[in-house]
Amino acid sequence: MKIKTKIIKKTLLFAVVAGEISLLFFMPALSQARAPSVPSIAAQLERRYHLNLESMQNQGENFNVSDTKKFAPQVMLSFDPSDPKPGEKLTAEANPMYFRNAKESLYFTWYLKHKECNLGNIKSNDSQARKNCDQDKDDEVTVEDWKIKAARILASNEFDYEKALSSGKYLPDGRDSDADGHKEYYGGDDRYKMPSYCYIHDFKDGINYELVESVGGQEISCPPGRTPACIATETLNTNPISYRCVNAQENPICPQTGSGIHCSDPSTEPRCILESYKDKIHLGDYACNNPLLVDSSGILIVDPDQNNLVCRIDPSLDAKSTCSHLFPNAKHRKTGDNSFDNYEESFWRTDPEDPDTADNGNKDEASVMGLGRNIFSWNYQSGDKVGVFVEGTSTIPAKHDDSSMMVMWAYPKNKCNVAQKGVMYKMIKGYNVKIPIASVDFNDCLEDNLVDPREGGQATNLEISLSYSPENPRNDPTEDNLGDVVVAQSSIPNAAKNGKDIYYEWRVEKSNDGTASASSWTDITDKFYSITPQKGNNLSSLKFKLDLPEEDANGNDFFEKDVEYLRVRVKASENFSDGMTRDGKSSVIIKVFNTSERILARGVDVDDSGLLEIKDDDKICDEKSQDKAICPAVKNDIIGLKIKDDYKNYSWTLNDQPLICDKSVSTECCKSCTNEEKQQGKQGNVNFFPVTGNPGTVYTVNVNAINEKTGKTLQLTRVFQVVEPFIEIAPANENVWPKLLGRYKDLDGLCEQEPEKCDDYSKEVFETMAGSAEAKLKINFHPESIKNKTKINWFLDGEKESETSELSFEVNREIEETYLVKAKGLYEQKKEIRKALHEIWNVSQFDSLEKYMEDDVQVVVVDVMHETVKKDYKQFFASVIASLPENLVFMLRLALTVFLVVFLSGFLFTFNFQKNSGKI
Encode 568-633 in three state secondary structure: EEEEEEEECCCCCEEEEEEEEEEEEEECCCCCEEEEEEECCCCCEEEEEEEECCCCCCHHHCCEEE
Of the candidates 333, 351, 331, 348, the one whose C-alpha atom is nearest the C-alpha of residue 177 is: 351
Amino acid at 707: N
- Between CA 169 and CA 163 the distance in angstroms is 9
Q: Which residues pair with 301 in a beta bridge?
A: 310
| Residue 386, pLDDT score | 96
Distances (CA, A) of 66 to 33, 60, 62, 71, 114: 39, 10, 6, 10, 42
CA atoms within 13 A of residue 873's CA, in its CB half-sphere: 6
- Between CA 96 and CA 104 the distance in angstroms is 11
Amino acid at 643: I
Q: Which residue numbers in the chain have pLDDT < 70?
A: 1-43, 45-69, 172-173, 216-319, 432, 456-460, 496-499, 516-519, 576-580, 623-629, 746-757, 864-890, 906-920
Q: Which residues pair with 523 in a beta bridge?
A: 509
- Between CA 709 and CA 280 the distance in angstroms is 119
| Residue 58, pLDDT score | 60
- Between CA 686 and CA 661 the distance in angstroms is 8
| Residue 748, pLDDT score | 58
SS (H, E, C) 496-556: CCCHHHEEEEEEEEEECCCCCCHHHCEECHHHCCCECCCEEECCCEEEEECCCCCECCCCC
Non-local CB neighbours of 450 within 8 Å, separated by 6+ positions: 111, 113, 385, 386, 387
Q: Which residues pair with 482 in a beta bridge?
A: none
| Residue 315, pLDDT score | 37
For the stretch 662-666, contacts whose Cβ atoms lie closer than 8 Å and that sit 24 or more positions apart, written own/partner, are 664/611, 664/840, 665/611, 665/612, 665/840, 666/611, 666/612, 666/613
Distances (CA, A) of 891 to 564, 895, 899: 63, 6, 12
> For residues 413, 418, 419 and 422, what is the CA-based torsion angle, rounded to 10 degrees?
-170
| Residue 574, pLDDT score | 82
Helices and strands of the chain, counted as H and E runs: 12, 45
Phi, psi values for residue 905, rounded to 5°: -60, -45
pTM, entire model: 0.48
Q: Which residues pair with 631 in a beta bridge?
A: 720
| Residue 73, pLDDT score | 95
